Structure formats: C-alpha cells, structure tokens
Amino acid sequence: MCGHIPRAAQGAHRRAPLRRRRPPRASHAHRRRHHTGHASAGGFLLALCHDYRVMRADRGVLYMSEVDMGFPLPPYFTAVLRGKITAAQALRDAVLRGARLRALQAKEIGIVDVVCPGAPETAAEAIKLAARKWDGAVYSSIRISMFPDACRSVGIVVDVSTNLAILLSC
C-alpha cells in the first residue's frame, strides 16, 4: 500500500463516523463505579491533609495499606501522619498495624472530628464548615506554623521576615 502513510491512518476515510455513546442499560448497572467511602493509603493521607474531617458512620474505613502491601512510606507521608495523628498508639496502629478504622473508632482516637449517620448529614456538616469566611492568607500562615515538618517535607517553607509561605521547586 502507501509506504509513507502510517498503517493506522490508511483507510481512515473509510471508517464509520463516531456514534453517540448510549447511556448504560440497567443490565450494566453492576459495572458502574460507586463511592464506597473508603480512604486507603494515599486517600487516607489526602483526608489527613484537611484540617477538619467529617465521616459517615454507615460506611467507609480509613486504612494505611502500605504495611500490608509491603511499600515503605515516603518521608512526606510520615511527616503528615506525625503531624495529624498525634496520639502515639493511634499512629502506631494506623501505620504499623494497618488498622482499618471505622468512623466511631477514628473519632475516638482523634483522626475524625465529626461522625454523621449518613451521606446527607455528612454533606450538611461539611457545608457548615465551608461556610466560614476566614481570611485565607491568615489561615494559611497559621496552618503552616502548626505543621512545619509536614510543610517542609513537601517543599513549603515560611520566610520569617515576611511571614509568607514559599513553595520550593524540587
């Protein structure tokens, strides 16, 4: 055929036009992805990066799976974990034991702030928190001063002369 035309492009003019994708049928409902409420490994770390954590009681777990999977923790994981899980036994159980923490247990050990019965109540509680009108620059400055090790581990430092956060490029 044509040597200078890539094989994938040969005959492209003969291909059928793209069709609109049909919505999934009820028989395909089992294939749809749904939110489980679980926060494992990096998801758990992402949850810890938030200042307030709201969790529903009816489903979901927090789980640091690295010990079970055989993965070492990067230094920034460890810095965030130490900064956010302040009780030594809770940190040990979450990281070294790979404990799967349900909402009430996570609240008891200080990882979760509020436990709600279900999704609507959890969303309402999160919206209440988001409605606060704090000054972002002040909040950020206070937050960085509260978690300096975690911030340094991801390249955020504070210039003490101006009290501004600086992101260092790696």
Residues 57-81 pLDDT 10s: 988 888 888 888 899 988 888 998 9
Same domain, 149 and 84: no
pTM of the predicted model over 0.75: no
Same domain, 48 and 119: yes
Instruction: Note whether residue 16 is domain-resident.
Output: no
Same domain, 80 and 100: yes
Separation of alpha carbons 26 and 124, rounded Å:
31
Report yes or no: 98 and 70 within 8 Å, Cβ to Cβ: no
Dihedral angle computed from the Cα positions of residues 24, 43, 145 and 96, in that order, rounded to the nearest 10 degrees: 170
Separation of alpha carbons 64 and 41, rounded Å:
5
Separation of alpha carbons 19 and 162, rounded Å:
57
Quote the strand ranges of 45-137, DSSP E. Answer: 54-56, 62-63, 114-116
The CATH number assigned to the domain holding 72 equals 3.90.226.10
Q: Which domain holds residue 148?
A: 133-170
Residues 133-165 pLDDT 10s: 888 888 888 888 888 888 888 888 766 566 555
Instruction: Note whether residue 1 is domain-resident.
Output: no
Same domain, 75 and 49: yes
Same domain, 46 and 124: yes
